[in-house]
Amino acid sequence: MTFDLTASLPARNFEMSLSLGPSETLAILGPNGAGKSTLLGVISGLLRPESGSARLGGRELFTLDGGTRRWSAPHLRGTALLAQEALLFPHLNVLDNVAFGPRSTGASRTEAREVARHWLDEVDALALANRKPAQLSGGQAQRVAVARALAAEPELLLLDEPMAALDIHTAPLLRRVLKRVLADRKAIIVTHDVLDAYMLADRVIVVESGRIVEEGPTRQVLERPRSHFAAGLAGLNLVAGTLGQEGITTPDGRVFAGQHDPDWSLVAGQAGVAAFPPSSVSVFLGDVHGSPRNSFPVTITDLEPHGDQVRVRASSGPSNTLSADITPAASADLGLAPGMEVRFVVKSALVSVYPA
Amino acid sequence: MNRRSGTGYTGVPSWVYVIAAAGSLFILLPLVAMVAKVNWPQFIPLITSESSLTALGLSLRTSAASTALCVVLGVPLALVLARQPFPGQRLLRAFVLLPLVLPPVVGGIALLYTFGRQGLLGKSLEVAGIQIAFSTTAVVLAQTFVALPFLVVSLEGALRTAGSKYDAVAATLGARPTTVLRRVTLPLVLPGLASGAVLSFARSLGEFGATLTFAGSLQGVTRTLPLEIYLQRETDADAAVALSLLLVAVAVAVVGLSYGRRRSSAPVKEQL
């Protein structure tokens, strides 16, 4: 019982191909406009790609190529969609909202309500059964929406940033609920939050500009990111270049010395990346004496508070942004300000180097 | 101008209120003038005369029928206009709205050449033994012709405001398109549908020109209240005024009933 999809929609610069094992939860990460919602639209049948095919379990969702144009309507797909907004039907109470799915697929009113009560209980919202959606808080509404999606017994559950509209106090409860209900079912969750990916997903796909740029088990992608987006989510600096004995050589000739993972056998000349946390970066004014390795000039672009540190963002080239975390006192001593030219020094013991 | 405390800045200049007051007087004054002209001692006998009651009954029956027909034809039209764009959609909308700006008598002539004995469809219907022109059916068709745009316009607006997000969610939950329409789309736009139906009813109640042209003025068959008023005006001015007041009262009751309960964004255009 797997899910396979290949779809392309040139009008939206979208071209993806992915598959999902039984009871696997996949997180889709990526910047705004990368095609995450387009992907969910294509899977749920709300958006028709130009070509491609998809199968869920033994069923065909669509086959669109030269001669064959088969397309099954959204209601036949068994892919319930949970969006950022709960979108509970405002004219139905909570119980009938959750009963909507089973009722629409042929259950009697009594049966449907029985199913609805079960799922409301599952998301700790049974007490809200008789309320109207307008009387719910954002977190309650979203929990009810989860119950409504699950009551439809989808073979594949699609979640489009379900936590994005919730405040930081209500999101943890929903996250716990999702962790419980997603445990043994196929689901695809689009998220901006690295915590969602860690807690809920077995595997991560990073998309940029309508393409999959990175894919792998959650922990591996977030600890060994290969794309700038994943590195940004994981809070790491990322420098791309070619692998060498020393570490990474960037296209402009700079060398980042670092630690190779012993599991990887090094092939010189292979493309690779160096990743290091902002806390491993020190900031100096003027020239640095001693080891010249991992020391390079940068121009400060921004200073912002980050926890009890100051995050210094600086550019070391046209498209490469690096961050350093230093104490507020150090920042004041150095008199840092945007536009200043300083030197970043990275401890090579804290740089991981691995193939891209 | 003294406003109640707790109200915010409106940005409306004071002179606008003066002109607005003049505007409302322009509507109200003729009504007052008519009320002043009513022969009150004879009022009840005048409006309960046999011909009056027949005309009122016919008006209410035909207006109810044409409102039902407007709902049956107008809901699909509004859905088609409000959802997916398609080639020729703007043209279709323009034609659906045409009766709003067309003189009703022109509508009547058009209907006559469609359903009349020598008309486009009328000839075939005649062969089948169905005669529409100058019958009560013709009254209903004339009223539907002029009232349909009111329902379509207000329902299309409501559908656009509601959007299709809920419909999409309902579909992914496994609901067939017909189920989505019945259980989600229509319940969400019920206020818009209701106010559209009320406007259509009111427009049907006041319909005169198209009815006279296409259905004629046969007592008990096609002579609705507005036609009766027009006829009485020539012979018995008192009766005309009394019946006019009756029509105003019915119209105010119908419109007040729906607009009193909830505010509506439906545009209001009325012509006779």
Gap between the terminal Cα atoms of chain B: 38
Nearest to A241 by CA among A254, A260, A229: A254
Number of H helices, E strands in chain B: 14, 0
Contact status, residue B136 vs residue B58, Cβ threshold 8 Å: yes
| Per-residue pLDDT tens digits for A11-63 | 999 999 999 988 899 999 988 888 998 999 999 999 999 999 999 988 899 99
Chain B hits for A149, CB-CB cut-off 8 Å, are 173
Where exactly are the structural domains of chain A? 3-223, 257-355
Domains and CATH numbers, chain B: 64-217 (1.10.3720.10)
What's the confidence (pLDDT) of residue B266?
Answer: 39
> What's the fold here for domain A257-355?
OB fold (Dihydrolipoamide Acetyltransferase, E2P) (2.40.50)
The torsion angles phi and psi of A9, rounded to 5 degrees, stand at -140, 85
Mean pLDDT of chain A: 88
Strands (E), A79-235: 81-82, 156-160, 186-190, 203-208, 211-217
- Under DSSP, is residue A10 helix (H, G, I), strand (E, B) or coil? helix
Cβ proximity of A296 and A254 under 8 Å: yes
The residue among A37, A44, A79, A89 with the most chain B CBs within 10 A of its CB, best to mutate, is A89
pLDDT band for A173, please (50, 70, 90 cuts). confident
**CATH 2.40.50.1020, domain A3-223, yes or no:** no
Structure ipTM = 0.80
Positions in chain B whose pLDDT score sits under 50: 1, 263-272
Neighbours of A250 (CB within 10 A): 17
What is the residue whose two structure tokens read 């209900």? A181
pTM of the complete model beyond 0.95: no
Other C-beta atoms lying within 10 Å of the C-beta of residue B2? 4
Give CA–CA dist A132/A145, Å, rounded.
13
φ, ψ at A30 (rounded to 5°): 165, 160
Could you give the CA distance from residue B168 to residue B152 in angstroms, rounded to a whole number? 23
Classify the phi-psi angles of A286: left when phi > 0, otherwise alpha if psi is within -120 to 50, otherwise beta: left
Residue A321 — φ and ψ, nearest 5°? -110, 130
Q: Which residues of B make CB contacts under 8 Å with A?
A: 165-166, 168-177, 179-180, 183-184, 187-188, 190
Contact B258, B194 (CB under 8 A): yes
Task: List pLDDT tens digits, range B34-83.
Answer: 999 888 898 999 888 898 899 999 999 999 999 999 999 999 999 999 98
Chain B partners of A90 at a C-beta cutoff of 8 Å? 188
CA distance B157 to chain A (A): 19
Cβ-contact B186, B223 below 8 angstroms:
no
DSSP letter assigned to residue A226: -
Task: Kindly report the backbone phi and psi dihedral angles of residue A142, in degrees, each rounded to the nearest multiple of 5, phi listed first.
Answer: -70, -35
